[in-house]
Amino acid sequence: MFLDPESRWARRLNLILFLLPALTIYIVFAIYPTFSVVEYSFTDWDGISPERDFVGLANYERLFTDKIFWAAFRNTFVWSGVIIVINVGLGLVIAAMLARVWKARLLLQTCIVLPVVISPMAVATIWRWMYQPTGVINQVLEGVGLGGLATPWLGSPDAVLYALALAHSWSTIGLSVVIFLAGLQAVDENLYEAAHVDGANAFQSFRYVTLPALRPVTAVVFILTLTQSFKVFDIVWATTQGGPVRFSEILSTYMYKRGALENQYGYGSAIGVALLVIVSLATVIYMQIQSKEDR
Amino acid sequence: MGRWLLLFVLGVIAILMVSPLILTVFTSFKPTTELVNPPWAPPVSLTYEHYVRVWTEAGFSRYFFNTLVISAVDAVVMIVIASLAAYAMVFMDFRGKLVLRVLFLIGLMIPVTAIVLPLFQIVRGFGLVNTHLGVIFADLALAVSVFVFMFSSYFVGVPKELHEAARIDGATEFQIYRRVVMPIATPAVVTTALLEFLWSWNDLLLRLLLLTRDEMRTLSVGLLNFQGTMTRDVTGLSSGTVIMAIPVVLLFLFFQRHFVRGMTAGAVK
């Protein structure tokens, strides 16, 4: 069957052949579940029985009065806040320092970015071990005379969320550093020259030249870190599963417990929708900033 | 700040960043008798015993093989389907293009975590729970948007004249895709392969839900279970961690530039 390649049918066939594989998989396994999660959230489904009843906003009403949900909600924000402070603040400082170094730059950068490729599961195993009561963190603290700070990090209600956030930051800060570095390379050299001529020292030129020039990049890293940290499941699940009690419970772990482990699909989905809304909003803002930057 | 002070501070940061990995490697090679030494003490007499134990008895060879298959298939198929779709989006004219663009944009916003419950039901509906195919479909669907846009951004740079000339010479769309457009997009191919492989290799949540039979499990789930049952087996856990980390660390060291470019471009996921 030879079709004239310019004919309408040939074009249509081509279009289908090119688009179909990606589109089918995408719609079935990504778009459809996104709508389903909203649909489930209005039902009392247990995930197994063929029947499910529409219960209106009951699951959302339950969310509003569920103390554990609000604890998880608050923990998720605290968790993200800590990670943002580290990844944006420290990430910017490290990138700014790296940008001023030529000797050994590749080696230093490699060491700092390397943890980014380590699986969150492996990160969890490593840090769980380091945070043990007799683990390396406490041993180092005692070694430098700060033994008073030693604590069973992952068993401590006050420390657990921060300890896990630190572990997560360790494995993600390299990404911020890399994005900041790309941004720094785009800063106009002449601005530094001008600042130098005006007698600015290194700190002043950082404060008055680098920071303002990096504002859009900083916004990108900020939102990116926010969305990434909101989605986190692996590292918390593989270390504390939200414990002790609920002190490291975040939205994703709570959703997993209710939905997948306790078969409360309707309620778990409502938690999922909350997560979906927050992350989507942040991503929309992120893309707005990025497209502005591209122009 | 003086140059040397700067180098010193950065050096300290770099050492702090890699030290958790180095300590893990140290522990994985230590004979059990040396565990009383501090973690930062290198092993005095090296032993491979823990690796052998984890690889054979704890089933890590199986997990490794499963992970490798899923990640490799993910990477190869992703290159094909994402580049084909991007080709259609950039070079073909059709109604509903804008709608499709928005549809793919949505994919950049969906957090996997939020939709795993219905995703599990769909995979179950197809009878694909406990199959690698089910995981592969889910992986592809959840990341395809990122790579469609990545390929599109390369394709947009292909000169229209080149494309037109090939068409006038009588080349079919597929020939143009294969011979003209794809060779120009080689960097996107490499980046896609690396990133998709990495994400697939490292994921836990989807695999935890979709693979419950031990012989189907990947390294992430295997390591999680090993940690759950053998909590105090420090040397075994370290070896397992190293086994899981080695392939991606090597890839990173060899292709650092591509990784860095890909991670900044695909940063939305």
pLDDT tens digits for range B220-263:
999 999 998 887 889 999 999 999 999 999 999 999 988 888 87
Q: Does B12 touch chain A (CB under 8 A)?
A: no
Record: contact B113-A120, CB cut-off 8 A: no
Is B132 inside a domain boundary? yes
Q: How far is A158 from chain B (nearest CA, A)?
A: 23
For residue B165, the domain's CATH number is 1.10.3720.10
| CA separation for the pair A180, B264 (Å, rounded) | 10
Q: What is the pLDDT of residue A60?
A: 94
How many CB pairs below 8 Å do chains A and B form together?
275
What distance in Å separates the CA atoms of residue B53 and residue B61, rounded to the nearest whole number? 10
Instruction: Give residue B129's region: left, alpha or beta (phi > 0; psi -120 to 50).
Output: beta
* CA B181 – CA A142 distance, rounded (Å): 61
Q: What is the pLDDT of residue A182?
A: 87
Q: What distances in angstroms separate CA A139 from CA A95, B9, B40, B44, one per listed residue?
A: 30, 23, 10, 20
pLDDT of residue B129: 95
Q: Do A5 and B172 touch (CB under 8 A)?
A: yes
Fill in the amino acid letter for A28: V
Residue pLDDT, tens place only, B201-223: 999 999 999 999 999 999 999 99
* Yes or no, beta carbons of A119 and B142 under 8 Å apart: no
* Burial tier of B234 (Cβ tally within 10 Å: 0-12, 13-18, 19+): buried
Residue of A nearest to B35 (CA): A135
The DSSP-derived string for chain B is --HHHHHHHHHHHHHHHHHHHHHHHHHHTS-GGGGGS-TTSPPSS---HHHHHHHHTT-HHHHHHHHHHHHHHHHHHHHHHHHHHHHHHHH---TTHHHHHHHHHHHHH--HHHHHHHHHHHHHHTT-TTSHHHHHHHHHHHHHHHHHHHHHHHHTTS-HHHHHHHHHTT--HHHIIIIIIHHHTHHHHHHHHHHHHHHHHH--HHHHHH--SGGG--HHHHHHHHHHH-TT-HHHHHHHHHHHHHHHHHHHHHSHHHHHHHHHHTTT-
In a domain, B34, yes or no: no
Query: What's the DSSP call for residue A85?
Result: I
Q: Cα separation of B29 and B38, whole Å?
A: 14
DSSP state of A118: S
Report pLDDT for A4. Answer: 62
**Domain of B175, in residue numbers:** 64-265
A-contacting residues of B 14-53, CB under 8 Å? 14-15, 17-18, 20-21, 23-24, 27, 38-40
In a domain, A14, yes or no: no
Q: Considering the domain boundaries, does residue A177 fall inside one?
A: yes
- CB-count burial class (<10 Å; 0-12, 13-18, 19+) for B250: exposed
Cβ(A10)–Cβ(A3) below 8 Å: yes
| A5 touching B (Cβ < 8 Å) | yes
- Asked if residues A258 and A268 have their Cβ atoms less than 8 Å apart, the reply is yes
The pLDDT value recorded for residue B269 is: 44
Count of CA atoms in the C-beta half-sphere (13 A) of A147: 5
Q: Do A29 and B140 touch (CB under 8 A)?
A: yes
Length of chain A: 295
Residue A269 and residue A59 in contact, taking contact as beta carbons nearer than 8 Å: yes
Domain that holds residue A118: 37-123+152-294
Provide the number of structural domains found in chain A. 1
Residue A106 zone, left/alpha/beta (φ > 0; ψ -120 to 50; rest): alpha
Cβ pair B141:A179 closer than 8 A: no
What pLDDT, on a 0 to 100 scale, did the predictor assign at position A212? 85
Across the interface, do B109 and A284 touch by the CB < 8 Å criterion? Answer: yes
Give residue B87's pLDDT band: very low, low, confident or very high (50, 70, 90): very high
pLDDT of residue B171: 85
Contacts of A111 (CB under 8 A, 6+ apart): B14, B15, B17, B18
- Is B76 among the domain residues? yes
Q: Which of B137, B142, B152 is nearest to B108 (CA)?
A: B142
Rounded to the nearest angstrom, the minimum Cα separation between B42 and chain A is 14
Distance, CA of A194 to CA of A211 (rounded, Å) = 16
Nearest to A63 by CA among A54, A55, A73: A73
User: The domain that contains A242 carries what CATH number?
Assistant: 1.10.3720.10
Domain annotation covers residue B6: no
In a domain, A29, yes or no: no
pLDDT, position B37: 87
Q: Residue B234's closest chain A neighbor by CA?
A: A129
CB A177 within 8 A of CB A112: yes
Which of B210, B74, B78 has the alpha carbon at shortest distance from B145? Answer: B78
Q: How far apart are CA B110 and CA A42, in angstroms?
A: 19
Q: How near does any CA of chain B get to the CA of A69, in Å?
A: 15
Question: How far A180 CA sits from the closest chain B CA (Å)?
Answer: 10
Asked if residue A16 is part of any domain, the answer here is no
Look over chain B and give the mean of its residue pLDDT values, rounded to a whole number: 91
Residue of B nearest to A130 (CA): B20
A106 CA to chain B: closest CA distance, Å? 10
Instruction: For B82, name the nearest residue in chain A, comparing CA atoms only.
Output: A22
The pLDDT value given to residue B113: 87
Please check whether residue A219 is in contact with residue A209, taking contact to mean a CB–CB distance below 8 angstroms: no
B25 in any annotated domain: no
Distance from CA of B29 to the nearest CA of A (A): 15
Q: Quote the tokens at residue A122.
A: 């492996």
The ipTM value here is 0.92
Give a yes or no: residue A99 inside a domain: yes
Inter-chain touch A26–B241, beta carbons under 8 Å: no
Q: Which two tokens stand for residue A137?
A: 């963190």
Residue of B nearest to A266 (CA): B117
Please give the span between the terminal C-alpha atoms of chain A, in angstroms, as a whole number.
47
Query: Is A15 inside any structural domain?
Result: no
Is the CB of A28 less than 8 angstroms away from the CB of B92? Answer: no
Contact A117 B106 (CB under 8 A): no
Q: What is the spatial distance between Cα A133 and Cα B126, in angstroms, rounded to a whole number?
A: 46
Are the beta carbons of A272 and B114 closer than 8 angstroms?
yes
B-chain residue closest to A257, CA distance: B117
For B255, residues 6+ apart whose C-beta sits below 8 A from its C-beta are B190, B194
pLDDT exceeds cutoff 50 at B268: no
> Are B17 and A23 in contact (CB < 8 Å)?
no
Look at chain B and report how many structural domains it folds into.
1
How confident is chain A (295 residues) per 10-residue block, as mean pLDDT? 66 90 96 93 87 88 94 94 96 92 90 95 95 92 89 92 97 94 84 85 84 85 88 93 91 92 91 90 80 66
Flag if A29 and B118 touch (Cβ within 8 Å). no
